[in-house]
Every structure is written in C-alpha cells, then in structure tokens.
A and B are shown apart, each in its own frame.
Chain A
Amino acid sequence: MAKPPKIVGEHKKEFRVIPPPPQDMIVHPVDVSKGTFELYLTKTSKDKILEHCNAFADQKLEVMGFLIGDVLRWKNRFFSLVKDVVSTDLKATNISVRFAKEGFEPLFEELDGLNYDYLIVGWYHSHPGLGCFMSKKDIETQKRTFNKPYHMALVVDPLKTEMKAYKLKDEGYVEKKFAVYLETG
C-alpha cells in the first residue's frame, strides 16, 4: 500500500501593492464618494455575467461561473479585482446549479487560456425571479470553497435586474458594495 501523499513545501502568493481603479474609470455606482470598495469588476466581466444570466432567464434556469482576477493591496486594505468570468456546461434547475461533470475539461481549457497568473476570487450565480440573497446551500458552498477573506459571492436576479455581492460573516453573510470600472487598453 502506498504512503499517503506528503506536502513538502508551501508557496504563498504575495498580494501585489496596486491602487484600486481611479474614480473617473468607475461607471457604477454613480456616487463614488463613499470611499473604497472590496470588489471591483471590469465592465466586460459584469456584462458577460448579465449576458449569461439573461440567456437562461426566460427558462428560469440558474447559471453559475467563477469570478477570475487578482487580490491586491493598497493602504493596508485588500480588494478583489475581477478581470474575467468563466463558466461551462451546467446542471441547472430553477432552484439549483452546479458544473456538469463533462463541463470541467472545457472549463479548465478556458482557465488555461487566461494569459496571467489568475486567482479564483469567488463565484457568481443567478436566482431568476427569486431576488438576491444567499440561501442555506449558497452559504454552505461559500464556507466549503470560498472561505478566504477576499472571496466573494455575486448573486444576480436577471428578472428583477438585481446584482448583489456578499461575503461570509460569522455564521451568515453580509452584503458588500462593489464597483464596476472601465478597463483601459
């Protein structure tokens, strides 16, 4: 019988020190005077999420994907920057969603196609017609797979045109304000 696998070293990713997107690049919220945010999404990522959620909204099917980007540090604060979103074939109903088994390899191909050292900074999923909140199952998923302080959950109701961001807090969750910005280049 084989010896169990042994971890022989650990390399921790350093969070780079970079300022958040400047106020004149932020397109949501309109009033940015309320300080900094813990989550910034590029407008392209936000549009891609909405497009995905809207595509299945009529059938009231939930959709899901990963929020991809980086975690950065500025003035002793951490923030997540979502530069891309990825998804694949799903197993979904109007009240549940997960990746289909056959969806993983196309998903990996999409991840490998990203030409930077990415982090999965959270996930998005939709609640068509049910409003934005974290269900018991969503909280359980957040605790099992997205339990780092920077991990976010983005919930979208395409029928009520709502999008909200959440993080774990104590045994439950808390809503976080987020910003959408126009990337340059």
Chain B
Amino acid sequence: MDLESDNTVEEIIESAASFWSKDPGAYVLKWGRKLLRGGLMISDAGIRDGDTLELIPDPEGGI
C-alpha cells in the first residue's frame, strides 16, 4: 500500500476495506502489538516503509 505521511489510520482502513470488499467499521488496525486509532496520522504513529499493518476483525455477539 502506498501511503503519505499525513494519511490517517481511518483512511488506511477505508482503502483496504474497499479493496477487499470488507466493512471498514468491523475492523481495527494492528501495527505490531499496537492498536492504531482512527484520526492518527502515519507520521505521528511512527509507521515506516515496509512495516506490516493488519486488519483484525472486531466482532460483536448478541441477541
């Protein structure tokens, strides 16, 4: 994924979700052991070229 330093976590989730036809609201973004929050920018998070980011499901059970 090509990113710019002022892309936000929310934008990453939205782009990945749209590419793989997933629902962006149902996933969180994992960067190593860190949970990346929505408005955070790439530069502020400290993400570097070549880092792996993973979409992790945020499921909800209920009646």
Q: Is A75 at the interface (CB under 8 A from chain B)?
A: no
Q: Which residue of B lies closest to A102 (CB)?
A: B35
- What does DSSP make chain B's interface, helix, strand, loop or mixed? mixed
Residues of A within 8 A of B15 (CB): 4-7
Query: Contacts of B49 on A, CB cut-off 8 Å?
Result: none
Task: Give chain B nearest CB distance to A128 CB in angstroms.
Answer: 12
| Among candidates B7, B16, B30, B56, residue contacting A2 with C-beta atoms closer than 8 Å | B7
Give A117-164 interface residues, CB cut-off 8 Å to B: 120, 123, 125, 130, 135, 137-138, 141, 144-146
**Is there contact, CB below 8 Å, between B62 and A97?**
yes
Question: Which residues of chain A come closer than 8 Å to B14, judged between CB atoms?
Answer: 4
A34 at the interface (CB under 8 A from B): no
- Which residues of B does A touch, CB under 8 Å? 1-7, 11-12, 14-16, 19, 22-23, 25-28, 30, 32-35, 56-63
Give Cα distance in the complex from A100 to B19, angstroms.
27
On chain A, the number of residues with a Cβ less than 8 Å from chain B's Cβ atoms is 36
Instruction: Write the residues of chain A forming the contact surface with B, with a CB cutoff of 8 angstroms.
Output: 1-8, 10, 62, 64, 66, 95-99, 101, 104-105, 107-109, 111-112, 120, 123, 125, 130, 135, 137-138, 141, 144-146
The answer to whether A97 touches B63 (Cβ under 8 A) is no
A7 near B19 (CB under 8 angstroms)? yes
Tell me the smallest distance from the CB of B61 to a CB of chain A, in Å: 4
- 21 example contacts (A-B, Cβ-Cβ < 8 A) are as follows A2-B5, A2-B6, A5-B2, A5-B15, A7-B16, A62-B61, A96-B61, A96-B62, A96-B63, A97-B60, A98-B60, A99-B58, A108-B33, A111-B30, A137-B60, A137-B62, A138-B62, A141-B59, A144-B22, A144-B23, A145-B58
Evaluate contact between A109 and B61: CB separation under 8 angstroms: no
A144 to B63 CA separation, bound complex (whole angstroms): 16
